[in-house]
């Protein structure tokens, strides 16, 4: 793993009106690393991801990605390097566009000429046959839709993927398939991931390190080994771990 950070966040603050949703947050992610951000709903974790992706322009602090300090409004080159996979594969794909249209659109926007080869590679990498290119989202299962969403993110050949609860809308039987696919893609394409999730089991499976957020603050950063040993330092992280294990036992 490259030791140069792919992402550095310093004293990030985000407010919506009177609500201060991210408070003085700082962390860094190494190139090639998979980094998790966990916390309960409302902890600010998805807001952080939206700032990194350039989707939220109301923030203060410093965000450095791939060695460049990021402005509020990003340029096209940024989106070739950084892509996001959203939580809901039903909502993130246009219902009247075929898979082929969905994958071709970002390539056309960026003026990339080898579109055919890139689309074929992305489809192959996510495990979908070429015949699926001419299907519409309603003709696909939830897992297949999320594979298309991942292919759309990959088609620009980015270096960083931002993953916002990428499996939480899927059936449990499909979740592991998609997570294993994401793990394989990271190795094959030497990608850097930030994975936002409320599920500690998903983060433990996917990430080397993780940040626990509560009420907009980072309360503890730990390694996956610390999580596996069930030995976080803070009371909140311990409670989150216990709650996560209890939930899994009940649904098993």
Q: Give per-residue pLDDT as tens, 72-86.
A: 999 999 999 999 998
Mean pLDDT confidence for 142-164: 95
Mean pLDDT confidence for 171-181: 90
C-alpha–C-alpha distance, residues 174 and 239, integer Å: 28
Ordered domains of the chain (ranges, CATH): 8-251 (3.40.50.300)
Helix residue spans in the chain (DSSP H):
45-53, 76-81, 99-109, 115-125, 142-154, 172-189, 200-206, 224-228, 235-251
Residues 18, 192: contact at Cβ < 8 Å? no
Which pLDDT does position 251 carry in this prediction?
Answer: 39
**With bands split at pLDDT 50, 70 and 90, how would you rate the model's confidence at 2?**
low
Mean pLDDT confidence for 177-182: 94
Q: What percentage of the chain has pLDDT greater than the value 70?
A: 96
C-alpha–C-alpha distance, residues 152 and 107, integer Å: 10
Report pTM.
0.92
pLDDT in tens, 91-107: 788 999 999 999 999 99
pLDDT at 108 over 60: yes
pLDDT in tens, 185-208: 999 999 999 999 988 888 988 999
Which pLDDT does position 246 carry in this prediction?
Answer: 53
C-alpha–C-alpha distance, residues 172 and 42, integer Å: 23
Which pLDDT does position 3 carry in this prediction?
Answer: 64
């Amino acid at each position: 793993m490259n030791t140069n950070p792919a992402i550095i966040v310093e004293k990030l603050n985000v407010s919506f009106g009177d609500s201060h949703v991210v408070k003085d947050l700082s962390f860094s992610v190494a190139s090639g690393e998979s980094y998790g951000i966990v916390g309960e709903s409302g902890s600010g974790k998805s807001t952080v991801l939206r700032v990194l992706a350039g989707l939220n322009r109301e923030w203060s602090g410093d965000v450095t990605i791939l060695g460049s300090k990021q402005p509020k409004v990003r340029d096209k080159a940024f989106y070739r390097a950084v892509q996001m996979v959203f939580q809901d594969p039903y909502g993130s794909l246009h219902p009247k566009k075929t898979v082929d249209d969905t994958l071709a659109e970002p390539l056309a926007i960026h003026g990339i000429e080898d579109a055919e080869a890139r689309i074929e590679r992305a489809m192959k990498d996510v495990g979908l046959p070429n015949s699926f290119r001419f299907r519409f989202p309603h003709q696909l299962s939830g897992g297949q839709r999320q594979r298309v969403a991942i292919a759309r993110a990959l088609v620009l050949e980015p270096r960083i993927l931002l993953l916002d609860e990428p499996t939480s809308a899927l059936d449990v039987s499909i979740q592991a398939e998609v997570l294993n696919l994401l793990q394989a893609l990271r190795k094959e394409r030497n990608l850097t991931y930030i994975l936002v999730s409320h599920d500690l089991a998903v983060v433990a499976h996917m990430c080397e390190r993780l940040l626990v957020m509560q009420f907009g603050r980072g309360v503890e950063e730990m390694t996956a080994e610390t999580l596996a040993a069930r030995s976080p330092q803070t009371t909140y992280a311990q409670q989150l771990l216990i709650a996560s294990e209890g939930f899994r036992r009940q649904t098993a």
